[in-house]
């Protein structure tokens, strides 16, 4: 706690405030339930953050400085209460205050439902970035959508994934959010474009036929020890047409509510796809709604601060988190051209110096395209503007590469090979002053494979900013014992200056320190084992290697490669009398997009294999497999501190960065991984001895592809692998249902397996054998674990944000 905050906190006043909030919620202290108290706590705390939010908003220095506007369809923020207490420096003081009310703070925090307003990596990154912007006081506003339902809740029925809606605010509302009706906007859709004449000029004017109100809800992003609170502004769709009372009174209930139903649908639910573009009209409507409301709010702030329109790029920068908010580019152009009546060149100069774009994936199925016909119908004026942008851009291409049709075809914003489609990534690159990938390797591949022509046309525009994670949530909050240990050794500055962890390296060989460090790990493993016992009724050996793969379920992430290794361990335990291994618990946690059948088959297979192994008395506690349902931020906070081994096993070239890899290394887990994404940089930091790299690298992958990949040959040449695969076809794991796991077998055996699962199997097993050997040497393992924690300071999202600030955004920190 900073001295100032210590001074400001008045315990008895806070307790009174909590009781008042409890009363307002309709409860009495002696009968209130834990959840009621949690709501009262949240509301009492939110009073403070709201006043800091408003004060930050009115800060003249911030209004006169440049801000970043982070536009993202996803912010996977996770629970706010515990994290905000850490940032406010009030964690211990509040724990003390609530204990005087007879309550435990951790029990209260457990009552909060995660706001799961994102799918995975990209959404969680946005949340870490907001935290780091506020901590370092770089002026920022996050813009997202206020989904009524977040990412679905996952459960398993006989091993198969079930999905249920995630009503994260129900029924009482979320204590941290503040509705801002005075800042609402009106957003149009459909309609037509008219030509208007004024003072001898003709202008184009869009006349939408549907209008929906965008109502903003602000969540406070509390800067760590900084008294700065920035808004995460989430737009909700509301009907504009007033409730049709006449129709209601006449008995036409459905019609009376029709407008509400339409508008409410817009932000009803988060699309549950990760690294995949579903191409649904409602999704494009969400994107435009989000972009248009955010652009309008940015312009409102800019003009209210007294700045000239032409100075927009000097005061506001708009970061597009992937292509989902791309339509903000033509939207800003539309407003400048049609509402403010600027000429094209002036408008384009403003827009193209305001936007910057981050690419998060190379997977072709994730690269968004929208049908020209759909855009023309939903947003007719925007389609005209996109044509004009492209027309002028094609002239630029012609000037650079005269008569080169092929260049024009790849670079064009319009793909006219089949149904005419708008390529959102191309529009982003054309309309942005900077484009970045999210890890060194990924950015290199963006330049080399995805956008080589753009890189030639605009040298320097494509850059790298390696991702990062916030050390506040991902170490200080989720791993208090390790945090205290670190603070005892190196002081309390590290959560704001993560490079300082390097000083821990000097204790890596200190046996006393090794013991304390591993005791912390052990307690974290016990905590996780306790959770598993309580919720899944599986008893775990906490001396075992906790081997963890937690992330969205996707073929490219290769959970099925991990599964094949698990099966091979099981078979060796049963069949090889001399086989010995350190006990292991293999953890999985992953949601599959509801429409992604193969991903669901992989989940089913893992659950079936787990059931068999866990109930086989011959295995004892040598091997257990645990699939933790409903993976979410608050679950990650329990799993990550307990991990010994972090599985980052995507096929090289497919995982743009990964951030789970950073979280686990920071908490003292050793990575087993391919030369992919940020694994490459983690290896550079921790050194070859403290990471287990295996498999084909990017060049190896292309060579194998060129030679011709033949999984059948691999299958026949490796008995261990063959046996593991064959067991998917018989009844070993699905008694009475032979073939139930065939989809998984088929996916890796076909020569079309794009993720070359079998090609990496042998080396993966080799790397796991190395892990098994090293884990048995407790002191060596402790050394490696300590060095992982000590040497990953680079992966703080504070550093990522400074890279954006210095190389792209050019912001000044405004200290409050
Ligand atoms: C993810 C990447 O897969 C991951 O490697 C990276 O660490 C993360 O972004 C943050 O940069 N990509 C996505 O989450 C993604 O493309 N999601 C979109 C469709 C929702």
pLDDT in tens, 167-212: 999 888 999 999 999 999 999 999 999 999 998 999 999 999 999 9
- Testing ligand 1's pocket by substitution, the residue of 119, 150, 361, 664 carrying the most ligand atoms inside 8 A of its CB is 361
Whether 655 lines ligand 1, by a CB cut-off of 6 Å, is yes
Phi and psi, residue 758, nearest 5°: -70, -30
557 is catalytic: yes
Choose the catalytic residue: 317, 659, 671, 789. 659
Strand partners, 492: none
CA of 254 to the centre of ligand 1 (A): 40
CA 657, 660, 663, 665 torsion: positive or negative?
A: negative
Segment 549-564, tens digit of pLDDT: 999 999 999 999 999 9
First to last CA, the chain: 17
Q: Is the pLDDT of residue 303 over 70?
A: yes
The beta-carbon contacts of 400-408 under 8 Å, at least 24 apart in sequence, are 400/457, 407/453
Segment 332-378, tens digit of pLDDT: 999 999 999 999 999 999 999 999 999 999 999 999 999 999 999 99
280 is catalytic: no
Choose the catalytic residue: 552, 558, 591, 600. 552
CA of 322 to the centre of ligand 1 (A): 9
Please identify, by atom number, the ligand 1 atom nearest to the C-alpha of residue 271.
20
Whole-prediction pTM: 0.97
**Contact present, 610 and 562 (Cβ < 8 Å):** no
CA of 129 to the centre of ligand 1 (A): 14
241 is catalytic: no
Instruction: Enter the tokens of residue 655.
Output: 């995982």
d(CA 446, CA 222): 34
- Testing ligand 1's pocket by substitution, the residue of 275, 283, 591, 661 carrying the most ligand atoms inside 8 A of its CB is 275
| Residues of the chain above pLDDT 90, percent | 94
Instruction: Enter the tokens of residue 87.
Output: 């940032």
* Ligand 1, atom 8: closest residue by C-alpha: 121
Domains of the chain: 1-63+90-113 (no CATH), 64-79+114-467+802-809 (3.40.50.2000), 471-795 (3.40.50.2000)
Whether 360 lines ligand 1, by a CB cut-off of 6 Å, is yes
Please identify, by atom number, the ligand 1 atom nearest to the C-alpha of residue 363.
16
**Contact present, 785 and 42 (Cβ < 8 Å):** no
Q: Counting beta carbons within 10 angstroms of the beta carbon of residue 198, is it exposed (0 to 12), middle (13 to 18) or buried (19 or more)? A: exposed
pLDDT score, position 261: 66
Whether 467 lines ligand 1, by a CB cut-off of 6 Å, is yes
* ∠ Cα 476 479 481 (to 5°): 100
Whether 121 lines ligand 1, by a CB cut-off of 6 Å, is yes
Please identify, by atom number, the ligand 1 atom nearest to the C-alpha of residue 120.
14
CA of 656 to the centre of ligand 1 (A): 7
pLDDT score, position 476: 98
In this structure, the strands spanning 462-464 and 545-550 are unpaired
552 is catalytic: yes
- How far apart, in Å, are the Cα atoms of 548 and each of 145, 664, 789? 32, 9, 17
Choose the catalytic residue: 153, 442, 473, 663. 663
Q: Find all residues with CB under 8 Å of 554, minimum gap 6, and list them.
A: 274, 275, 596, 599
Place of tokens 């809606």: 165
Whether 657 lines ligand 1, by a CB cut-off of 6 Å, is yes
* Among 560, 531, 534, 557, CA closest to 546: 531
CA of 276 to the centre of ligand 1 (A): 10
In this structure, the strands spanning 369-371 and 421-423 are antiparallel
Whether 466 lines ligand 1, by a CB cut-off of 6 Å, is no
* Ligand 1, atom 7: closest residue by C-alpha: 658
CA of 128 to the centre of ligand 1 (A): 14
Bigger pLDDT: 418 vs 260: 418
Q: Is the pLDDT of residue 1 over 50?
A: no
**Contact present, 651 and 755 (Cβ < 8 Å):** yes
Whether 354 lines ligand 1, by a CB cut-off of 6 Å, is no
pLDDT score, position 530: 98
Bigger pLDDT: 250 vs 106: 106
CA of 438 to the centre of ligand 1 (A): 9
Please identify, by atom number, the ligand 1 atom nearest to the C-alpha of residue 74.
20
What is the pLDDT averaged over residues 61-86? Answer: 97
Strands (DSSP E) found in 158-303: 160-164, 178-179, 185-189, 192-198, 201-207, 210-222, 229-239
CA of 458 to the centre of ligand 1 (A): 25
551 is catalytic: yes
Please identify, by atom number, the ligand 1 atom nearest to the C-alpha of residue 442.
5
Instruction: Enter the tokens of residue 292.
Output: 């248009």
CA of 612 to the centre of ligand 1 (A): 33
Choose the catalytic residue: 66, 153, 557, 802. 557
Segment 720-768, tens digit of pLDDT: 999 999 999 999 999 999 999 999 999 999 878 999 999 999 999 999 9
CA of 638 to the centre of ligand 1 (A): 22
Whether 122 lines ligand 1, by a CB cut-off of 6 Å, is yes
pLDDT score, position 260: 67
* Among 214, 213, 183, 234, CA closest to 80: 234
Please identify, by atom number, the ligand 1 atom nearest to the C-alpha of residue 677.
5
ipTM exceeding the 0.95 mark: yes
Q: What is the mean pLDDT of the chain?
A: 96
Please identify, by atom number, the ligand 1 atom nearest to the C-alpha of residue 118.
20
């Amino acid at each position: 706690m900073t001295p100032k905050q210590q001074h400001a906190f008045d315990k008895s006043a806070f307790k009174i405030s909590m009781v008042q909030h409890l009363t307002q919620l309709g409860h009495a202290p002696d009968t209130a339930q834990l959840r009621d108290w949690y709501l009262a706590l949240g509301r009492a705390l939110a009073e403070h953050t709201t006043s800091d939010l408003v004060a930050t908003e009115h800060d003249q220095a911030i209004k006169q400085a440049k801000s970043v506007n982070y536009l993202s369809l996803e912010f996977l923020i996770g629970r706010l209460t515990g994290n905000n207490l850490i940032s406010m420096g009030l964690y211990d003081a509040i724990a003390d205050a609530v204990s005087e009310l007879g309550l435990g703070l951790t029990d209260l925090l457990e009552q909060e439902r995660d706001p799961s307003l994102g799918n995975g990596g990209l959404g969680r990154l946005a949340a870490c970035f907001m935290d780091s912007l506020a901590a370092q006081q770089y002026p920022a506003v996050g813009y997202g959508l206020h989904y009524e339902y977040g990412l679905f809740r996952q459960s398993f029925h006989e091993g198969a994934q079930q999905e249920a809606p995630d009503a994260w605010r129900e029924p009482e509302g979320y204590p941290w959010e503040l509705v801002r009706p005075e800042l609402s906007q009106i957003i149009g859709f459909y309609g037509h474009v008219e030509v208007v004449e004024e003072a001898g000029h003709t202008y184009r004017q869009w006349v939408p036929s549907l209008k929906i109100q965008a109502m903003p809800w602000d969540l406070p992003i509390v800067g760590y020890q900084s008294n700065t609170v920035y808004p995460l502004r989430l737009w909700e769709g509301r009907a504009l047409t007033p409730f049709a009372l006449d129709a209601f009174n006449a008995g036409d209930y459905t019609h009376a509510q029709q407008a509400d139903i339409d508008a409410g649908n817009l932000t009803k639910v988060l699309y549950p796809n990760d690294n995949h573009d579903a191409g649904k009209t409602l999704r494009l409507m969400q994107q435009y709604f989000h972009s248009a409301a955010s652009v309008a709010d940015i312009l409102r702030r800019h003009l209210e601060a007294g700045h000239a329109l032409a100075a927009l790029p000097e005061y506001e920068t708009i970061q597009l988190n992937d292509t989902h908010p791309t339509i903000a580019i033509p939207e800003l152009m539309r407003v400048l051209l049609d509402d403010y009546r600027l000429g094209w060149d002036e408008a384009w100069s403003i827009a193209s110096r305001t936007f910057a774009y981050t690419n998060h994936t190379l997977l072709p199925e994730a690269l968004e395209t929208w049908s020209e016909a759909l855009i023309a119908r939903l947003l007719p004026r925007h389609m005209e503007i996109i044509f004009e942008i492209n027309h002028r851009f094609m002239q630029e291409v012609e000037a650079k590469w005269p008569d080169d049709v092929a260049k024009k075809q790849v670079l064009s914003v319009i793909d006219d090979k089949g149904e005419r489609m708008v390529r959102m990534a191309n529009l982003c690159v054309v309309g942005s002053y900077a484009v970045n990938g999210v890890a060194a390797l990924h950015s290199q591949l963006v330049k080399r494979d995805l956008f080589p022509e753009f890189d030639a046309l605009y040298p320097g525009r494509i850059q790298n900013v390696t991702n990062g994670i916030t050390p506040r949530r991902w170490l200080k909050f989720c791993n208090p014992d390790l945090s205290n240990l670190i603070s005892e050794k190196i002081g309390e500055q590290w959560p704001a200056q993560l490079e300082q962890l390097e000083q821990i390296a000097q204790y890596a060989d200190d046996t006393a320190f090794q013991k304390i460090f591993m005791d912390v790990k052990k307690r974290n493993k016990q905590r996780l084992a306790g959770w598993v016992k309580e919720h899944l009724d599986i008893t775990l050996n906490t001396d075992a290697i906790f081997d963890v793969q937690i992330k969205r379920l996707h073929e490219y992430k290769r959970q099925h490669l991990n599964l094949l290794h698990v099966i091979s361990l099981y078979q060796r335990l049963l069949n090889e009398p001399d086989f010995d291994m350190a006990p292991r618990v293999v953890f999985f946690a992953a949601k599959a997009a509801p429409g992604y059948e193969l991903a669901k088959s992989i989940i089913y297979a893992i659950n079936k294999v787990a059931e068999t192994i866990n109930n086989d008395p011959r295995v004892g506690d040598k091997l257990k497999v645990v699939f933790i349902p409903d993976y979410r931020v608050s679950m990650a906070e329990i799993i990550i501190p307990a991990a010994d081994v972090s599985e980052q096993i995507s096929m090289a070239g497919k995982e743009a960065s990964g951030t789970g890899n950073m979280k686990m290394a920071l908490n003292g887990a050793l990575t087993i991984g391919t030369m992919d994404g940020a694994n490459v940089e983690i290896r550079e930091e921790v050194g070859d001895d403290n990471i287990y790299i295996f498999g084909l690298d990017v060049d190896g992958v292309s060579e194998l592809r060129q030679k011709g990949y033949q999984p059948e040959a691999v299958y026949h040449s490796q008995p261990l692998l063959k046996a593991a695969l064959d067991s998917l076809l018989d009844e070993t794991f699905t008694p009475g249902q032979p073939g139930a796991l065939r989809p998984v077998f088929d996916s890796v055996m076909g020569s079309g397996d794009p993720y070359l699962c079998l090609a990496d199997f042998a080396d993966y097993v080799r790397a796991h054998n190395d892990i098994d050997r090293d884990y048995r040497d407790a002191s060596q393992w402790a050394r490696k674990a300590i060095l992982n924690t000590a040497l990953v300071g680079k992966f703080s999202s504070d550093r990522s944000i400074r890279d954006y600030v210095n190389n792209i955004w050019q912001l000044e920190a405004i200290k409050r």
